[in-house]
Amino acid sequence: MAVTYLFVFVFLAMMGYICHFAVTNKQELINNSYNTRQSMLLAQNRRGSIYANDGTVLAETQTNTDGTETRVYPYANMFAHAVGYSTNGRMGVEALGNYYLINSNEPVSQKVSDDMAGIKYTGDSVYTTLDVELQEVAYNALGVYKGAVVVTEPSTGRILAMVSKPDFDPNNIDAIWNDLVADTDSSVLLNRVTQGMYPPGSTFKIVTALEYIRENPDSYSSYYYTCNGSYISGEDRINCYHGTSHGSVDFRTSFAKSCNSSFANIGLSLDKTSFRDTLDGLLFNCELPLQSTYSMSKVTVEEGMLDSDMMQVAIGQGTTQISPMHLNMITCAIANDGKLMKPYMVERVENSEGSIVKQFNPAAYGSLMTQEEAQILTDLMTEVVNSGTGRKLSGLSYTAAGKTGSAEYNTVKGDSHAWFTGFAPAEDPQICVTIIIEGAGSGGDFAVPVAKRIFDAYFE
Amino acid sequence: MERYITEFSNYFITIFMALYTYECFAVFRYSTEEKRKGIYVRQNILMFLVHFTCFLTICMETGELDYLFFYAFQEVILFAAISLFSMIYPKINKLLINNICLLLSIGFAILTRLSYEKAIKQFIIVTASLIVAMIIPFFIDKFKFLKEWKWIYAMVGIAALSVVLILGSVTKGAKLSFSVAGIAFQPSEFVKIIFVFFVASALYKSSTLKEVAITAVIAGIHVIVLVLSKDLGSALIFFIVYVLMVVVATKNWLYLLIGAAGGSAAAVVAYKLFTHVQIRVTAWKDPWSVIDNEGYQITQSLFAIGSGGWFGLGLFHGTPESIPDVESDFVFSAVTEELGLIFAMCLILVCVSCFVMCMNIAVRLQDKFYQLVAFGLGVTYIFQVFLTIGGGTKFIPLTGVTLPFISYGGSSVLTTLILFSIIEGLYIIKQREVSKSGKTKRKGASGGNSNRRARVYEEDEAEFEEEYEED
């Protein structure tokens, strides 16, 4: 009878729905703070440990003689935002790997002996992609400045180091929590790598250059402009950094010397619809393939916008905002023949016996640009190091490529954030570094030396 | 030792349940109860294993041996039910009896885990209900005047529902029950059966537009009274059962379209008029945004469903008690969390196999009144299963009805047992019809006057004839 088939069909659909829902949402449901099963799991299992890529302990739970538990972070402030904390909410790897850390896949025999001994089962361990040495160098290089450093592996998407300052000591998170929350000025709890929103400044010229190349594939190399320190369109004026007059520049030199006037000139020539497509393709104004909390980058390009605004967009000023992580992802795509790998920080999960519970493999997000475009940008960025604003990286045992930026955030005083984003070796990129130092000055003077210390540590 | 048992018991429970479910559908490969005998014996063994493993786990987890005595009582009652039904009514359909007892035993296990006190109450109610259920097939078989009581069914049904609306105690915003001598009655449960008899008796002779229109008015009154009582789940069941019974009685699928259009219009009106309808829809569309209020119950249910995995956390290893009303409306979520997704899917399939068997019986009944009754009751059952499981998993908006045989609730279990006893009674009638027509056919054949209909019938029902002859 038709009604029978109808009901059987409806029930099969419902069964498919239930299984699909339960399996795909399992972790998200467990992590929801309204879910009481978390405390149930924590009463049964001791929270697992977090390790660096070489097996160094980054976080572990110790049971005190009185039976209480303490979460210990041996590197204290150094991994504050990357590893995060697990009480008063969660952050970093503690949040990403929470599901695994609170579950235990101990063998039954071990569970039995735990029961006999009257101790909790050991939660599964999370092995991260973080590299203690690079993190330490990046952490120290940033010094007392506020800012962020992120180091990734462009061919896989592994995050090797992630530093955000100001920082805090996660060992004392319960004691300092109220102060951290109350202190809205320095926003210590903000992970500036993923959540910090900065004007990209001249690093955005990578994007403007890509669009110009796309619009003028045959003629961009014959581009030519004479810079006298500023660009004037009607009543609007764009100055080069510190009013430097760059003289006669071609496309390559405009990029290498980071000539604002020339890029304002380029910006006004661009087709806005096509530019928007390029921005969309580079993940502006949209979701990023990141698992952790992040802020969405913003840029406004639309038909009929004022020339003054368009000139600001072209040099990465105005209302444009980007997170260091997003800039790093664009740089990674350039370093990886245009292909973006999804950034990730959790490499694998092991049970107490060292058997692998879950392995995370590198995953491609897709192509942000063609291989040819990536190669042209790599050449431009190599020139920045050879003869432009990144010269502090030239003449070393490795060839670096990158772009500096000095993002002005206070137009009256001319204060600027120092940016650098780049990779090395230029011919076979292995690591990709993005740095922002708040209010330090020019990228070439302040951010590039930090990059150099990181590259040196990696390639030594 | 305990650790090993509790750790592995879920795998065993899942395997036993999966095998049982397989047998539920293997039944349909054979056409006679005789040939199905082996399957039924295997089912009895498997249901015993599921039940036993569940209670063994409960004892191990709690360390209380009391539960073993409780288990023994249940086993005695369930075994007695299976054997007494077969003894009193040798021609009974054993798949339905087996399924009922399996579902009851799962209900006992999960209720014991959730609330021992409620499980004992449920056990007493089930025992009494089984005794009532045992005499019903006899009455169905003997009382030939059941089809003449059209207006009595209508009046009793509407009166019972109205009494609740007027006098009923308010439980959870819905007026569902009233108490007599300390026992809460939920008349809408019983009226479901009376309603099916009403529609069947109204439409079996003729299903002209006039008849359909008159019954539509009566059915509409039922539904409106239920909506006013805020019992949306029952209102929906009455509506769907009515529409589908009309479609089957008239063999006109146009009524399904009319019903769908009318139902949608009524749903829109109800949504506009009643805040309790709006709340249900809001909580269904995005429960996470109203997790503190309207969405609390459903999100807690979703947490339970998401945390069990394929094999479940094990009895007493989850926290299903965090779902408000878990024993009545969300028992499926508790089952999924602690006994696992595979088990829960098998549970759904067992319910579906009950329904398919009901439809099988309905199709083969000759008498149109009985056919409509069997069909209506089958739809009543399966649609209620759909509402409660779909509602608890956010597949459809939540309406708050019980999962028959498993949920806690006296009216629910008694009604569903009566419902299936009636179907068993019809199954017995069906076999008599078959044997009669078998004789008729033989006469016809000897007279060399077999018409086309009889020949079709012969092919369809050969198996039942055969069965009859074996007896």
Q: Which of B237, B245, B305 to mutate to test the interface with A (most CBs of A within 10 A)?
A: B305
Which region among A416-420, A436-440, B207-211, B431-435 has the lowest average model confidence (pLDDT)? B431-435
| Among A residues 5-24, those touching chain B with beta carbons less than 8 Å apart | 7-8, 10-11, 14-15, 17-19, 21-23
C-beta atoms of A14 and B345 within 8 A = no
Specify the pLDDT at position A323: 96
The percent of residues above 70 in pLDDT, for chain A, comes to: 99
DSSP state for residue A404 in the 8-state scheme: E
Letter for the amino acid at A238?
A: I
- From B244, B303, B382, residue closest to A37, measured CB to CB: B303
Strands A57-63 and A50-51: antiparallel
In this model, does residue B47 exceed pLDDT 60?
yes
Q: Does B393 touch chain A (CB under 8 A)?
A: yes
In this model, does residue B467 exceed pLDDT 50?
no
Q: Does B230 touch chain A (CB under 8 A)?
A: no
Specify the pLDDT at position B211: 86
What's the gap in Å between the CA of B285 and the closest CA on chain A? 15
Distance CA B424, CA B422 (A): 5
Nearest Cα residue in chain A from B395: A14
Determine the average pLDDT of the residues in A314-327.
94
Nearest Cα residue in chain B from A28: B306
Domain, as residue range, for B442 = 436-470
| Residue B448 covered by a domain | yes
In this model, does residue B184 exceed pLDDT 80?
no
Q: Does A40 touch chain B (CB under 8 A)?
A: yes
Which region among A385-394, B292-301, B344-353 has the lowest average model confidence (pLDDT)? B292-301
List chain A residues with CB under 8 Å of B359.
1, 3-4
What's the gap in Å between the CA of B181 and the closest CA on chain A? 39
C-beta atoms of B247 and A3 within 8 A = yes
| Residue B131 covered by a domain | no
Q: Which of A3, A36, A115 to mutate to test the interface with B (most CBs of B within 10 A)?
A: A3
Confidence of residue B141 (pLDDT cuts 50, 70, 90): confident
Q: How many CB pairs under 8 A join A and B?
A: 99
Which region among A16-25, A409-418, B239-248, B264-273 has the lowest average model confidence (pLDDT)? A409-418
C-beta atoms of B3 and A112 within 8 A = yes
C-beta atoms of B307 and A29 within 8 A = yes
List chain B residues with CB under 8 Å of A3.
244, 247-248, 359, 375, 379
Higher pLDDT, B88 or B465: B88
Nearest Cα residue in chain A from B362: A1
The helix/strand/coil state of A250 is strand
List chain B residues with CB under 8 Å of A109.
none
| Residue B442 covered by a domain | yes
Specify the pLDDT at position A111: 84
- From B341, B352, B390, residue closest to A19, measured CB to CB: B341
Q: For chain B, give the secondary structure using H, E and C.
A: CHHHHHHHHHHHHHHHHHHHHHHHHHHHHCCCCCCCHHHHHHHHHHHHHHHHHHHHHHHHHHCCCHHHHHHHHHHHHHHHHHHHHHHHCCCCCHHHHHHHHHHHHHHHHHHHHHCHHHHHHHHHHHHHHHHHHHHHHHHHHHCHHHHHCHHHHHHHHHHHHHHHHHHCEEECCEEEEEEECCEEECHHHHHHHHHHHHHHHHHCCCCCHHHHHHHHHHHHHHHHHHHHCCCHHHHHHHHHHHHHHHHHHHCCCHHHHHHHHHHHHHHHHHHHHCHHHHHHHHHHHCHHHHCCCCCHHHHHHHHHHHHCCCCCCCCCCCCHHHCCCCCCCCHHHHHHHHHCHHHHHHHHHHHHHHHHHHHHHHHHCCCHHHHHHHHHHHHHHHHHHHHHHHHHCCCCCCCCCCCCCCCCCHHHHHHHHHHHHHHHHHHHHHHHHHHHHHHHHHHHHHCCCCCHHHHHHHHHHHHHHHHHHHC
What's the gap in Å between the CA of B90 and the closest CA on chain A? 27
- From B296, B306, B359, residue closest to A25, measured CB to CB: B306
Determine the average pLDDT of the residues in A135-144.
95
Specify the pLDDT at position B459: 38
| Residue B466 covered by a domain | yes
Specify the pLDDT at position B210: 87
DSSP assignment string, A184-214: TTT-TTS-TTTT--B--GGGGHHHHHHHHHH
Which region among A22-31, A373-382, B65-74, B217-226 has the lowest average model confidence (pLDDT)? A22-31
Q: Does B318 touch chain A (CB under 8 A)?
A: yes
Specify the pLDDT at position A17: 96
Helices B209-228 and B187-203 sit at what angle, rounded to 10 degrees? 170
Specify the pLDDT at position B180: 57
The percent of residues above 90 in pLDDT, for chain A, comes to: 71
Model pLDDT for residues A265-302, shown as the tens digit of each residue: 999 999 999 999 999 999 999 999 998 889 999 999 99
List chain A residues with CB under 8 Å of B390.
14
Specify the pLDDT at position B227: 86
C-beta atoms of A115 and B318 within 8 A = no
Q: Does A113 touch chain B (CB under 8 A)?
A: no
| Residue B445 covered by a domain | yes
In this model, does residue B136 exceed pLDDT 60?
yes
In this model, does residue A252 exceed pLDDT 90?
yes
What's the gap in Å between the CA of B316 and the closest CA on chain A? 11
| Residue B130 covered by a domain | no
Q: Does A286 touch chain B (CB under 8 A)?
A: no
Specify the pLDDT at position B277: 84
ipTM: 0.89
Which region among A430-439, B241-250, B287-296 has the lowest average model confidence (pLDDT)? B287-296
Determine the average pLDDT of the residues in B402-406.
93
List chain A residues with CB under 8 Å of B307.
26, 29-30, 35, 37
Confidence of residue B174 (pLDDT cuts 50, 70, 90): low
- Six-digit token string for A454: 């990181």
Answer whether A401's CB lies under 8 Å from A381's CB: yes
C-beta atoms of B302 and A1 within 8 A = no
Which region among A41-50, A427-436, B224-233, B374-383 has the lowest average model confidence (pLDDT)? B224-233
List chain A residues with CB under 8 Å of B300.
34
Determine the average pLDDT of the residues in A435-452.
93
Determine the average pLDDT of the residues in A365-379.
95
Specify the pLDDT at position B1: 63
In this model, does residue A376 exceed pLDDT 90?
yes
- From B302, B345, B386, residue closest to A29, measured CB to CB: B302
Higher pLDDT, A351 or B458: A351
Nearest Cα residue in chain A from B243: A3
Confidence of residue B183 (pLDDT cuts 50, 70, 90): low
Determine the average pLDDT of the residues in B345-368.
93
Specify the pLDDT at position B176: 62
C-beta atoms of A29 and B389 within 8 A = no
- From A14, A19, A37, residue closest to B319, measured CB to CB: A37
Specify the pLDDT at position B179: 60
Q: Does B375 touch chain A (CB under 8 A)?
A: yes
Determine the average pLDDT of the residues in A301-321.
90
Confidence of residue B438 (pLDDT cuts 50, 70, 90): low
| Residue B350 covered by a domain | no
Confidence of residue B381 (pLDDT cuts 50, 70, 90): very high
pTM of the shown model: 0.77
C-beta atoms of B356 and A4 within 8 A = yes
Specify the pLDDT at position B177: 64
In this model, does residue A335 exceed pLDDT 80?
yes
The percent of residues above 90 in pLDDT, for chain B, comes to: 51
List chain B residues with CB under 8 Å of A8.
352, 356
C-beta atoms of A30 and B306 within 8 A = yes
In this model, does residue A182 exceed pLDDT 80?
yes
Instruction: Find which of A124-138, B30-44, B230-244 is predicted with most confidence, using mean pLDDT.
Output: A124-138
C-beta atoms of B319 and A40 within 8 A = yes
| Residue B447 covered by a domain | yes
Answer whether B200's CB lies under 8 Å from B373's CB: yes
Specify the pLDDT at position B207: 77
Specify the pLDDT at position B457: 41
Specify the pLDDT at position A288: 94
Q: Does A111 touch chain B (CB under 8 A)?
A: yes
Model pLDDT for residues A207-231, shown as the tens digit of each residue: 999 999 999 999 998 999 999 888 8
Q: Which of A17, A18, A115 to mutate to test the interface with B (most CBs of B within 10 A)?
A: A18
Q: Does B143 touch chain A (CB under 8 A)?
A: no
What's the gap in Å between the CA of A193 and the closest CA on chain B? 29
Domain count, chain B: 1
List chain A residues with CB under 8 Å of B302.
21, 25, 29
Determine the average pLDDT of the residues in A106-128.
88
Confidence of residue B148 (pLDDT cuts 50, 70, 90): confident
